[in-house]
Structure 1
Amino acid sequence: FGPRPPAPPPAVPDCGGLSSSANAGIYSALALGHVIVLITTSIFLTAISVRASGSMHRDTIKRVLYAPMGWYDATPSGRVLSRFTSDLNNVDVKLSMDMDNVLQMIFMVGTLVGYIAAASWVLCLAAIGIFFLFCVSTVVADRAVREVRRIANNAVSPVMSTISEFKAGAALMRAMELTPFFAARQSAFIGEWSHISYMARALQSWSSHVGGMLAFLLGSTTALYIVGNRALFTEELGGLALTYATVVPYFLNIVSEMFVQMRTSVAALERLLDYLDLPQEPEHERPDDPPIGQWPTAGRIEFLDLCMRYRPGLPLALQDLSATVEAGAKVGIVGRTGAGKSTLVLALFRLVEPASGTVLIDGRETSSLGLHTLRRAMTIIPQDPVLHDGTVAHNLWPFGNISDDELRSALVRARLPADMLHAHVAKGGTNLSSGERQLLCFARAMLAGAHILILDEATSNLDEAADAAMQA
């Protein structure tokens, strides 16, 4: 029979007349270009995110700090904490990452659809139809997830507020044996928040299941079309179309999940943007404000038909009040609880704007002054002293433009030892007695040198001798 003829060499696919090394170079260039695009996009989005987040934080905190007191009364503290913790974290960290991931996945899906279109325009139309169904399901899920997330963010506010209440009133809560009550209430708040969070997770899972069904639909359609039209496809082309048709829905599912996450971060951004529209206090500085030290010169206060309410729609807390406090006079205001004693102080400092009437100090209307100018002219010592974590010197005068000798002199005048000037003060003055905290506030008021001094039961924790000395 003779020797067997040699086997023919394997067929080399047609590469458009390009050598293998040229094709490898093109592939390497495309891969390198892809890496460069990814790195550039990530750097760009990160830089924009850092700049936008810094601006957002500065503007938002400024609007919150200068919001009127009525807004603080109507807004739970837990909601404010939620905005500046979880929401700000979403904007700082997650938003740019989610946007980057969504853009990359959309680019990937577009490339895969292009491969399918190269195989058959009919399959391309099928892929576009599946993409349309995907967009509809994503929009529906997004609306539901956003609403549930909004409810969940409101539900977490009572949880955080209760934690703050626990910390502030732990001693009283234990003394009144109310620990089980507050624990049960906190458990109910956590249960409600967990229930709503579970609903949000369930909606995200629903989006994943929809993506899986769309993947099965596109893969089945592609397989049936290729089998029914085998004459139109080579083995390579049919395999290419079927492979990418089954992969596209997988990436669409990833896009759906990332899009929902991105919308959650965008919802956090929207909640922060709402704080940029908060009502603000009046101007703090005005061009016609008197220079520091030139007003007031005596400290005469007049109330003329003053009416004030805490918020629109509430009854008047002060109604048609008219009174005069002469310069240098010591006046005590007494009355039952709710009579308006503290409200009168709020009106003096314009922490709440009057509904009508006028307040005059040395003949000048307080409403015509900037808030900084007005509030610098008065000093208040509250019943609950406000002290910060730091030294005694820092709590007396944090601005640093007064010598230690003057600070020690103020301590001695307030009946405190001069050698405690550099002693440490814990937050809220918890390492000092109640009387020492009030005396420290008296020393701070002496350094301010204001013509008008307001005491809101400021000697309630002092002994009789110290009380008489402070009021002398």
Structure 2
Amino acid sequence: MDFWLADWSASHVGGNIDAWNLTEANANYTQGNLSQPMDVPDTTGYYITGYTGLSVGAIVLTAAAVAAAILTSLRGARVMHDRMVHNIVRAPLRFFDTTPTGRILNRMAGDQGSLDNNLPGNMELFLRSGLKIVSAIVAVAVITPYFLIGMIPIIVFYYFMQKIYRATARELKRINLMKESPVYSQLSQSFGGLSTIRAYRAEERFTKQMMERLNDSFVPLLYSMGAEGWMGVRLVCAGAVIIFVAGLSSVVAGLHGLVSPAWVGLAISYAIRMQVQMFSVVSAFAKVEANMTSVERVEIYSRVPGEIYEQKTGNTIPPEEWPKSGTVQLESVTARYDQTLDPVLTTVTANIRAGEKVGICGRTGSGKSSLTLTLFRMIDMFEGVISIDGVDISRVPLTLLRSRLSIIPQDPVLFSGTIRFNLDPEEDSDDEELWRALEIAQLKDVVTDLPSKLGKWVVPSKARCPTQYKHHCCFKRCIKCKHIVCGIRTMVIVGIMLVKIEILILYQYNWYSLLAKHTSFTGTQR
């Protein structure tokens, strides 16, 4: 389009006739040497039509390029996000034991945010600025080839400047991402223990800790801004040299009659744009490379080895009614949390008959929770066999196994959703059965007083629900299951709460025929 305007400007004086010839011809007409003045062909319509067509084409191509860039970047970010979430959700228990919560949140929020917001824009800016620089260099070189001689040392200077800046920006970005993890950890832990913080009036101490972590996370950002300013000053000076070289070569070419004034103006205009675009392309390329650090970090979590949920060759698909009686056999079970760690269970052997209520008592670290995890195949059981109703659980698909067992955990959990969903996540019970289960769990009166009853929406972060109610909700989820595992810490759940849970487990099962043949495990401390 700029070339079209330059050609239009050059032809405005009369096609191929320059301004001096036109002035001389009109002077001869005035003196009577010509019968009529020279006519200047009217090409305005031609150039307006061409300019309009070029403008429409530029709009269409720009819109298509922007749409393609947005759709491509969104799809790429979505694919990486879905793959990371898929692997993290399926990661083994050891991954969450060894990985701080703040680090996971930083990957999901900070790094994924860079993929969604920063990387696409910087990449588009880099490509657009790079193409503009190439077109500007070609345009100025066509108008005045001498410009290329002066550009060679400037390009070398730009190369070394961007090399230094890119390395600095990349490492500062990496440090910034690392410094953000303690912020997310502090925030998550503060929200989780907010009631305890307020009870001990430690708000000021935790606020101070949060401010210190925020200040630490801002230090790399401050250095990044300083590095960008350092590079900007040098590139602006180099850009001024570009304008000087382009202007000097264009003026010299114009004085020697090699180009018209319109083309000289076009060359200088491109040189001015080149100064801005050179800074943009170096800055955008450095930011793209720095944001690729987030891509690398997300990709690491996208390759976390997960648990194998799908059925493998040689797996056993038990019948629909499995487990029917509830017999559990442990034969020389040895388990560990990781292949690099020592066993936490060594040659454990037990035979639990159907319907038995078994309690496991021991000190902290004795293996109560570890034994529970082996039933759900959450830790590596590399020796021995665990059988339920004669079926080796190591050969049962993981999803199927965990769907047939239930647990009342030490720390009960409520999900975001209605009370109906928390009681029956699988949605295989009618309201009558849910109300009967609430009556068993001693929650019927509590739910009846709610405005929406079973439709009441529960938000765990905002719900002020006593721990005993959460345990009762977990208890209801287990009613239809033949095997129930309970984890109860007497230092947390004491007195009447412990008695209630024990009464529910030991007596309510005999009250309702549906619950009479449950096999249950209860783990507690001495």
Greater Cα shift, 385-394 or 133-142: 133-142
Q: Identity over the aligned pairs, expressed in percent?
A: 24
Q: Is the 8 A contact 1:397 1:444 kept in 2?
A: yes
Q: Which residue identity is paired with 1:34?
A: A
Q: 1:176 to 1:127 in 2, by over 3 A?
A: same
Q: Tell me which residue corresponds to 1:14.
A: 16
**1:407, distance to aligned residue in structure 2 (A):** 0.9
Distance change (3 Å), C-alpha of 1:300 and 1:390 = same
- 1:458 is displaced (CA, Å) by 7.7
Question: Displacement, 1:228?
Answer: 7.5
Report Cα offsets for 1:317-339 as digits up to 9, x if no partner.
22333333233222111111111
Mapped to 1, the partners of 2:220 and 2:188 lie a distance apart of: 22
Distance 1:84 1:292, change over 3 A: farther
| Per-residue deviation, residues 279-311 of structure 1 (Å, max 9, x unmatched) | 111234346442553322222223333333323
Q: Which residue number in structure 2 is paired with residue 281 of structure 1? A: 307
CA distance in 2, matches of 1:395, 1:435: 15
Q: What amino acid maps onto 2:47 in structure 1?
A: N
Q: Which range moves more in the overlay, 380-389 or 294-303? A: 294-303
Indicate whether 1:451 and 2:475 are aligned.
no
Inter-partner Cα distance in structure 1 for 2:299 and 2:65: 25
What residue is the counterpart of 2:236 in the other structure? 212
Show the counterpart of 1:427. Answer: 459
Between stretches 188-197 and 277-286, larger displacement belongs to 277-286
1:267 alignment partner, one of 286, 293, 302: 293
Which residue pairs with 1:340 in the alignment?
367
Instruction: Measure, in 2, the Cα distance between the counterparts of 1:66 and 1:37.
Output: 43
Contact 1:67 1:281 in 2 (8 A): yes
Q: Give the TM-score, by structure 2 length.
A: 0.79
Q: 1:305 to 1:467 in 2, by over 3 A?
A: closer
User: Match of 2:334, SS?
Assistant: strand
Alignment of 1:242-391 (within 5 A): 242-286=268-312, 288-291=315-318, 293-391=320-418
Cα deviation code 1:163-199 (max 9, x no counterpart): 1111111222233444444333322211210111111
Contact 1:396 1:407 in 2 (8 A): yes
Residue 467 of structure 1 aligns with an amino acid whose one-letter code is: E
Asked if the contact 1:127/1:245 (under 8 Å) is kept, the reply is no
The 8 Å contact of residues 378 and 453 in structure 1, kept in 2 or not, is answered as yes
Question: Secondary structure of 2:359's match?
Answer: coil
The residue aligned with 1:398 is 425
Equivalent residues of 1:123, 1:222 under 8 A apart: yes
Counterpart Cα distance in 2 of 1:415 and 1:292: 33
1:138-153 matches, cutoff 5 A: 138-153=162-177
> Cα deviations across residues 190-223 of structure 1 (Å, max 9, x unaligned)?
1210111111222222332232122133234445
The answer as to whether partners of 1:304 and 1:359 remain within 8 angstroms in 2 is yes
1:252–1:433 CA distance, 2 compared to 1 (3 A): same
Distance 2:17 2:198 in 1: 82
Give the whole-Å Cα distance in 2 for the aligned partners of 1:466 and 1:107: 71
- Contact 2:385 2:392 (C-alpha < 8 Å) held by counterparts: yes
Q: How many positions carry a matched residue from both structures?
A: 461
- State the AA in 2 paired with 1:249: Q
Secondary structure of the residue that 1:121 maps to in structure 2?
coil
Post-superposition offset of 1:267? 3.0
Amino acid at match of 1:14: N
TM-score, with normalisation over the residues of structure 1?
A: 0.88
Relative distance call for 1:320 and 1:210 in structure 2 (3 A) is farther
Q: Is the 8 A contact 2:169 2:287 kept in 1?
A: no
249-258 or 340-349: bigger deviation: 249-258
Matches within 5 A, 1:211-230: 211-222=235-246
Q: For 1:468, give the aligned amino acid.
A: I
Indicate the residue corresponding to 1:6 in structure 2: none
**1:15, 1:341 → 2: CA distance?**
99
Aligned residue in 1 for 2:512:
none
Quote the Cα distance in structure 2 between the aligned partners of 1:431 and 1:276.
Answer: 36
* Distance verdict in 2 for CA 1:370–1:93, change over 3 Å: same
Native 8 Å contact 1:438 1:458 kept in 2:
no
What whole-Å deviation, never above 9, does each CA across 1:430-455 have from its counterpart, x for those lacking one? 33332222222212211xx2221111
Flag the 1:18–1:361 CA change in 2: closer, same or farther, 3 A.
farther
1:215–1:250: 8 Å Cα contact kept in structure 2?
yes
CA distance in structure 1 between the partners assigned to 2:319 and 2:101 by the alignment:
35
Q: Does 1:35 align with 2:73?
A: no
